[in-house]
């Protein structure tokens, strides 16, 4: 039971730290544009790569 004297305040402190981090992220605007981040993750902005030079033309897709 002596370990509870350490674990309970530690758990409360970590919970408070998580709450403070969450509130800070809300205040700094981390959750403002959720749709934009989702579309940027799947957007295909890179141009297609040219086919390798050493592959014959009939094998190129």
pLDDT, position 61: 56
- Domain boundary assignment for the chain: 1-42
- Distance of alpha carbon 9 from alpha carbon 53, whole angstroms: 65
pLDDT digits (tens, 9 = 90+) for 6-56: 999 999 999 999 999 999 999 999 888 888 877 887 877 777 777 777 766
| Percent helix, percent strand, percent coil in the chain, to nearest 5 | 60, 0, 40
Answer whether 0.85 is exceeded by the pTM: no
pLDDT, position 43: 79
Give the list of residues 6+ apart from residue 51 with CB closer than 8 angstroms, or none.
60
- Distance of alpha carbon 47 from alpha carbon 61, whole angstroms: 16
């Amino acid at each position: 039971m002596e370990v509870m004297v350490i674990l309970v305040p530690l758990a409360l402190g970590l919970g408070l730290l998580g709450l403070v981090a969450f509130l800070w992220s809300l205040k700094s605007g981390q959750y403002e544009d959720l749709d934009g981040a989702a579309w940027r993750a799947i957007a295909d902005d890179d141009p297609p790569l040219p086919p390798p030079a050493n592959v014959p033309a009939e094998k190129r897709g």
